[in-house]
Amino acid sequence: LSGNNLNGSVPLTLLQKKGLMLNLEGNSDLICPEGLCVTKDGNGSKKTNVVIPVVASVAFVVVLGSALAFFFVFKKKRPSNSEAPASYTQVSDVRTTRSNSEPAIMTKNRRFAYSEVVTMTNNFKRVLGKGGFGMVYHGTVNGNEQVAVKMLSHSSSQGYKEFKAEVELLLRVHHKNLVGLVGYCDEGENLALIYEYMANGDLREHMSGNRGGSILNWETRLKIVVESAQGLEYLHNGCKPPMVHRDVKTTNILLTEHFQAKLADFGLSRSFPIEGETHVSTVVAGTPGYLDPEYYRTNWLNEKSDVYSFGIVLLEIITNQPVINQSREKPHIAEWVGLMLTKGDIKNIMDPKLYGDYDSGSVWRAVELAMSCVNPSSTRRPTMSQVVIELNECLANENSRGGTSQNMNSQTSIEMSMNFDIGTTPDAR
C-alpha cells in the first residue's frame, strides 16, 4: 500500500491477519501503531519492525505440540475399562495377558477369584493331565462337587482370545454331550477354566491302553461316537448362531464315570454364516491329521470341516491306528484305510484287539460312513444330522447281532455309500 497518500488509522483486524506484512511507505498521514508497519521517516531511513504474524504462527505451533504431547501422555496413563484392575500384575510380553483392545468377559456369573482356585485345587496338588492350553488339576467346589481346573500356561499356544471364546460359548450352550463349565477365573495373568469332572479321561487314552483296564468293545465305541456326534450336531444346528468346533479329535472327547461321552475344548470354536452364506474365511486352525484339507487349502470354514475331523475320529475307533504313521505305506489314516478297502477285507482294517467280536455289517457301515465324512470335497460329505442317524443304525445293528440283520445292514450300507458318493466302496462283505 506504499505511495498512496492514505490517511486515518490502519484497522487492527488487518494488522492481525496471519502471514500478512504491510508496507505503508509514502503515507505520511496514516496512523499506524508503532512497530506493526513498515514505514519511512522524514529523513528517508527505514525502521526495522517485528513481524507479529510470524511470531504468532510460531507460538501457535509450539502450543499445539505441547497440547498433543500432554494428550498422549495422559491417555497412556489413564486406565482402560478393558484392562485388569491396578492391583493385578501385568506382564506385557506374556500371551495370557489381555490386550487393551480385547474386551473382558461380560458376565460375572460363575466367576472365581484366583484365591478360590488355589483353595479348590488344594494348592494345585493333584495333576489330571496336560494339554495345549496348560495343566489340568483336580479340585472340589461346594464341599463335594468334583471339578477339573485347567490353568492357562504362559507358554501356551492359546491366549486370552481363545480363553474368552471358550468361556462365552460354554456359558450360553447346554447339552448333555458337551462338557459343562462350572466357572472360570479371569484375574490378571491367572486364567482358569473350571469344568465338570470327567472321571474316565479322554477317548484317546482308552484306545491306546494308557489308562489300563479292559479294551473298549465295539458296542461301547459306537455309543461313545454316537454321543460325540450328538454334541457336535447340537453345535451345528442347535446353537444360534451355529458353531464350528474346529478341533474335533479323540483327546477332546471326554468320558464320565459311566463312559458317557462329552465334547470338550472349544477355544478354537467359531460362528459360521447362515442366511444363504456357505462359509466364513478365517485363519486356519486345528490339529494336523484331523484338519480338513479343503479348509487348509482355501481358508474357507464351515460345518463340513468338523465333519471331516469327526470322520478321522471314526477311523480311529475302527482301526485303533494313529492318525499319522510314517511307517505305513500311506501315512495318513484316511489314505491307508482307502488302500485297505480296495482289498475288501474288513480284518485288515478293524482293531485286532477286538478279536472279531463285532457285527460285520455294523462295521462296514461305520467304515463307509467314515470314508464319506473324509471325502476331499466338502459338498459330498454328510451333515452331522445324517451322521447321527447312521451311527445309531450301526449301534442298532451291533445290538441285534445275528439273524438276517447282516444282510439288511449290507443293503442299507450300499445305499448310503451311493447317496454320499464315496470314492472307495468295499467289494466284499
Annotated binding site for ATP: 150
CA–CA distance, 375 with 369 (Å, rounded to integer): 10
CA–CA distance, 409 with 419 (Å, rounded to integer): 15
DSSP code at position 256: -
CA–CA distance, 310 with 218 (Å, rounded to integer): 17
Type and span of the H or E element at 181? strand 181-187
CA–CA distance, 378 with 279 (Å, rounded to integer): 11
All residues at 6 or more sequence positions from 184 whose CB lies less than 8 Å from its CB, including other chains: 105, 110, 111, 112, 167, 191, 192, 193, 194
CA–CA distance, 79 with 335 (Å, rounded to integer): 55
Q: Which three cell numbers stand for residue 402?
A: 445275528
CA–CA distance, 241 with 248 (Å, rounded to integer): 19
The residue count of the chain comes to: 429
Q: Which amino acid is at 108?
A: K
CA torsion, ordered 202, 208, 209, 215, to nearest 10 deg = 90
Q: Which three cell numbers stand for residue 204?
A: 484317546
Number of Cβ within a 10 Å radius of residue 406: 17
CA–CA distance, 267 with 162 (Å, rounded to integer): 5
Q: Which of 247, 265, 306, 359 is catalytic?
A: 247
Contact 299, 283 (CB under 8 A): yes
Number of Cβ within a 10 Å radius of residue 356: 11
Our answer to whether residue 292 is catalytic in this structure is no
CA–CA distance, 135 with 153 (Å, rounded to integer): 7
284-287: long-range contacts, CB 8 A cutoff, minimum separation 24? 285/246, 285/247, 286/246, 286/247, 287/247, 287/249
Q: Which residues are catalytic?
A: 247
